[in-house]
Structure 1
């Protein structure tokens, strides 16, 4: 991957709907070689897909909480069952297993505080193996990026 490939990726991360002609112009190529590079990046698995960013409030999911979860037992069966169950919850929009503590980091999106409370009480804390749930509400989003997802 060279400087031009990186420039193509950077432009697509800003606007995946950009035309090939505009993309070529922005990275200093003519359209044909730009399209060849673009297709190669897709074929090589560098570009994994394209996504629509959706307004969370319009979808009834504007209440977002960052959650740390610690497990009571860390045997393979508990971990695998926990991961499968939590990954299936619609409210979970990001789910990461961490090194050290906490064991897991989750981003949860619900309509409001009461729906979040129901999620924690009846889904998350009801999941076998959960020892601790620690919720963090965002005061203000300073920067967010949707690249490298």
Structure 2
């Protein structure tokens, strides 16, 4: 990952791609006021620098049969670097874990988990999460509905 300086045109490119990652270079260049070749070079530079980390489709979890979102706060027995790495490695194969954050405060880790229903989540807890060594305690909170969700970073 390179450390680069970005200008107003780069910011416009990033904003447009956050709104629609499927834009062609021709469409993108038109929206940001560049010709296609310099626009393509800038996009490549932003990708190489790691500012554009990748492209993906945003899927509707409910439409795909995973309507339940649960936040699981995890307290670990130990918080050493080795214990955290071991915990992280153990969680990587768990496809129901959509996000995992190291936290400050009384809980060490916060997970965002998706499930089909309560029974599916219970199976995930019993068969996967609670079998991870080093967990002292967990506390789960079920979402009732998503009030705000942004996939776009604030204007930079």
- Spell out, residue by residue over 1:50-109, the C-alpha distance to the aligned partner (whole angstroms, 9 max, x if none): 111122234332211111111122244433322211222111111111133310010111
1:65 maps to what in 2? 70
1:15 maps to what in 2? 20
Q: 1:101 to 1:147 in 2, by over 3 A?
A: farther
2:123 maps to what in 1? 118
Equivalent residue runs for 1:40-119 within 5 Å: 40-119=45-124
Task: Find the aligned partners of 2:77 and 2:51 in 1 and give their Cα distance.
Answer: 38
TM-score (norm 1): 0.88
- Spell out, residue by residue over 1:108-133, the C-alpha distance to the aligned partner (whole angstroms, 9 max, x if none): 11111111011112321232211111
Greater shift after overlay, 56-65 or 6-15? 56-65
Q: 1:39 to 1:80 in 2, by over 3 A?
A: closer
Structure 1: runs of 5 or more not aligned: none
Q: CA RMSD in A?
A: 1.8
Number of residue-to-residue matches in the alignment: 148
Greater shift after overlay, 122-131 or 139-148? 139-148
TM-score (norm 2): 0.84
Task: Find the aligned partners of 1:23 and 1:91 in 2 and give their Cα distance.
Answer: 34
